[in-house]
A = this chain, B = another copy of it.
Amino acid sequence: MITNKKSILRLSKYKKALTRLHSMGFKKVFSDNLADAIGVTPSQVRKDFSIFDLSGHKKGGYLIDDLIHKINKILGKEEVEKVIIVGCGNIGTALMRYNGFEKEFIKIVAAFDNNPAKIDNDSQIPILPIEEMHDFIIKEKIRTAVLAVPDQAAQHVVDILVNAGIKGVLNFSPLYLRVPEDFIISNVNLEVELEGVIYFVNAMPTSSEKDSEEINNE
């Protein structure tokens, strides 16, 4: 199935909105509701749903339970996906403590750091020495990692991940990382994002239409 990142990311957002509606006791939802919830047009919602073959009754709307189930299936969330975090600095540690992932069928099974002082086998998520990462990835058949190491270590660490069989990384390093063609990297650069906001805020007094539109990471 040929898809693009934007529609997949929207699918995740629809699911979050649906989960929220479900927790509020709602049973049905209309494309207009979902459009409002994530800030797109109703036709965009219907277009996304048709891409993924998510059907509903034009008049009757969509059954929320059913939609969540189908979207989870599309996102491969029928079973828990095991993910490792590399780098236990501020961001890495925050993500280890972050509770949002479990809901998303994402389980952080281990974290790795090269600082002996941080190694902790007994913590809820074990923090292991970076030397053990390669074997752990193979043994546990891990395919996805979060990369939250200092810039200067990023390329070295991603090489280890690639060699061990990791297929995709959520990368917090600002560096451009060299990886194989079929390797997935999603870059989150907080400094760059914040600088972008500040730039447009500063540009505002003389802001053009373009400056004043909402800017998304999409």
Contacts and interface: CB of A to CB of B under 8 A. Distances in A.
A26 B176 CA distance: 19
Nearest to A93: B94
Contact of A190 (B2, B100, B151, B194): B100
A189 B9 CA distance: 9
A74 to B, nearest CB: 8
Given A8-B196, A75-B195, A100-B191, A38 B186 contact: no
A97 to B, nearest CB: 5
A106 B198 contact: yes
Interface residues of A, number: 78
Interface stretch (A55-63, A109-117, A177-185): A177-185
Report the copy number of this chain in the oligomer: 2
A160 interface: no
Interface string A178-218: 01011111111111111111111111101110111011111
A192 B168 CA distance: 14
Given A8-B199, A193-B217, 13 more contacts: A8-B195, A9-B196, A16-B174, A81-B202, A95-B190, A144-B197, A168-B200, A169-B197, A185-B214, A185-B215, A187-B216, A188-B217, A189-B217
Interface of A: 1-5, 8-9, 12-13, 16, 20, 36-39, 74-76, 81, 83, 90-91, 93-95, 97-98, 100-101, 104, 106, 143-144, 146, 151, 167-170, 174-176, 179, 181-204, 206-208, 210-212, 214-218
